[in-house]
Amino acid sequence: MRCGSSILADFLICSRFATRLPIPAPAAEAGPHGPTDLARALRLLPAAGGLIGGLAAGVLVAGASLGLPPQLAAALAVGLLILVSGALHEDGLADCADGFGGGVTRQQKLEIMRDSRIGAFGTLALALTLYLRIAAIAAIAEQSLHLASAALVAAAALSRAAALLPLGLLSPARSSGLGFSAGKIGADALRVALPLAVLFALAPLAAGAGLARPLLSVVAVLVAALAFAAFAKREIGGHTGDVAGASQQLGEVIVYLIYAAGA
């Protein structure tokens, strides 16, 4: 019973962190988004991602049922993803693009990433990923609305496991901020999060996808996350919350492209 309560508490903490949804704080939460609670609760980040992806799939289906063309329904689904997460991951992608692209020294890159203003690299990165996400989801939906819905769930969960890899493999690059609060998550959290993400990644099987694309998406997302973690270590010496956000965005795009190519 205690184990079930712990899992539910971690899911609520993780969902409160990952979304803007009005989720009540569990009784076991020591403080809002406290570092200790968050570090443990992140093991269920893929489950919180599955919830977000399910909401986006509902918007996609609703748009299609209203007669909207796939491109518009896909745009609404992506808009829901951004709205529910508070653009947390998009902000990380833009900051990483600006910092890694515009900085010369490690300190300059970290300063640029902390700046709330967006530069040319960040703008271009956001524009490209938004286009790829909408276009790929639309391409999948044109072939199968059920597959597109399942791909949204799979991508949302798997990409959030990708966001955890830099947090598990690298030390914080600075002594403050979201990345520092999360710290370097333990192997125990990854041992739960990664298999959980794989289960969500298999969701498209229920929509008629073969086994090859789910497996390919798992491998491709993990390899991309590992490569980006190595890149972040070279650029800034560790992880930040922005690095985790950029890893999520990269993983999400990869999943959509794999299913769009199959479509």
User: By the 8 A CB rule, do 83 and 195 touch?
Assistant: no
Q: What is the pLDDT of residues 183-198, one digit of tens each?
A: 568 888 999 999 999 9
Q: What is the pLDDT of residues 120-164, one digit of tens each?
A: 999 999 999 999 999 999 999 999 999 999 999 999 999 999 999
pTM equals 0.92
183: amino acid identity, one letter: G
User: How high is the pLDDT of residue 1?
Assistant: 40
- The structural domains of the chain, with segments of one domain joined by +, span 42-262
Higher pLDDT, 111 or 179: 111
Alpha helices by DSSP H, listed for 144-202, are 145-169, 178-182, 187-201
pLDDT > 50? residue 90: yes
Characterize 168-189 residue by residue with b for buried, 16 or more Cβ atoms within 10 angstroms of its Cβ, and e for exposed. Answer: bbbebbbeebbbbebbbbeeeb
User: How high is the pLDDT of residue 35?
Assistant: 46
Q: What is the pLDDT of residues 242-251, one digit of tens each?
A: 999 999 999 9
pLDDT tier at 7 (50, 70, 90 boundaries)?
Answer: confident
Q: What does the alpha-carbon distance between residue 178 and residue 40 come to, in Å, rounded to a whole number?
A: 15
In angstroms, the Cα distances linking 158 to 43, 106, 213 are 12, 30, 13
Positive or negative: CA dihedral 21, 43, 227, 262? negative
| 135, containing H or E segment | helix 120-143
Lowest-confidence region among 31-35, 99-103, 209-213: 31-35
Lowest-confidence region among 1-15, 78-92, 246-260: 1-15
pLDDT > 60? residue 254: yes
Q: What is the pLDDT of residues 48-85, one digit of tens each?
A: 999 999 999 999 999 999 999 999 999 999 999 999 99
User: How high is the pLDDT of residue 175?
Assistant: 72
Q: What is the pLDDT of residues 207-237, one digit of tens each?
A: 999 999 999 999 999 999 999 999 999 999 9
User: How high is the pLDDT of residue 168?
Assistant: 93
Between the two ends of the chain, the Cα-to-Cα distance in Å is 44
Angle (nearest 5°) at CA 162 between 176 and 131: 100
Q: What does the alpha-carbon distance between residue 254 and residue 137 come to, in Å, rounded to a whole number?
A: 12
